[in-house]
Amino acid sequence: MTAIAVTIAGSDSGGGAGIQADLKTFSALGVYGASILTALTAQNTLGVTAVHDVPGDFITAQIDAVFSDLAVNAVKIGMLSQRSTIEIVTSGLAAHDTGPVVLDPVMVAASGDPLIAEEAVAKLTELLIPKVDLITPNLHEAARLLQTDVAGHKHDMETQARRLIDLGARAVLLKGGHGEGATSDDFLLTKDGGRWFSAPRHDTRNTHGTGCTLSSAIAAGLAKGLPLAAAVGAAKDYVSAAIAAADNLAIGSGHGPVHHFHAVWSKS
């Protein structure tokens, strides 16, 4: 049986993040990828210059088309920029058999450009976070969801992960990639307890799409039947290798993408 994962997210015209990064990740990890577009961005390695939200009825049509035909094993959700989009996606997923759902609460692009309306943040917390299987905020996204300061230490990350569970999240992977130190440390918290995942921190500016790639890699693992912790561990390894190989690419003049196909292209 072919493992199938669906990404529900925005498009990155520069190809490094969003739907494009998700589909590359699925393919690199041996999973068939389908997509549901929620927004179009005019974007490159230097930043986002425009965002066009997909009309709600067309998002619904995409959801119904994909899930009525494909035997979906897992879902990754990324950019949901408007309150109405969050409501539509929540309702659409409730109407179908989705398998495990991973939510990457995308709020700001790597360039610093905002990707979600302020009024949509509360709706994300209220409607969607309690219904998905895993959320994967970075340090800044967690702070915004909790309306608090950015975690500065591992103890703070553990505390914020517990607070996100209290908000209704079933499981949280709080990502420490924006922190400091020799390692990039992520904290996974579930009802069974917490676990740290660490990888060496690589000195590169080419990290565009890292969060999209990690959440998609987790969804790919879940689509193939891995338990959550194993899917997170495999995804962490994949993303770390993609970052380490990022400088082998020469894409744009800003923050370039990670190398999604590092294991394939290096052999060709």
Active site residues: 175, 207, 209-212
For the chain, give the longest Cα–Cα distance: 48
Identify whether the C-beta of residue 79 lies closer than 8 Å to the C-beta of residue 40: no
Question: Pairing state of beta strands 193-200 and 183-190?
Answer: antiparallel
Residue 227's φ and ψ, nearest 5 degrees, are -65, 160
Dihedral, CA of residue 87, residue 54, residue 116 and residue 19, to nearest 10: 100
Continuous segment of H or E residues that includes residue 264: helix 262-265
CA distances from 69 to 23, 76, 105, 166, 222 (A): 19, 18, 27, 36, 20
Return the structure tokens found at 36: 């549901």
Q: Which residues contact 147 (CB under 8 A, 6 or more apart)?
A: none
State the residue for tokens 């529900």: 8
| 3-class secondary-structure state, position 242 | helix
Continuous segment of H or E residues that includes residue 184: strand 183-190
Alpha helices per DSSP H over 29-138: 56-69, 83-94, 118-123
How many whole angstroms separate alpha carbon 141 and alpha carbon 252? 26
Side-chain-side CA neighbours of residue 218 (13 Å) = 28
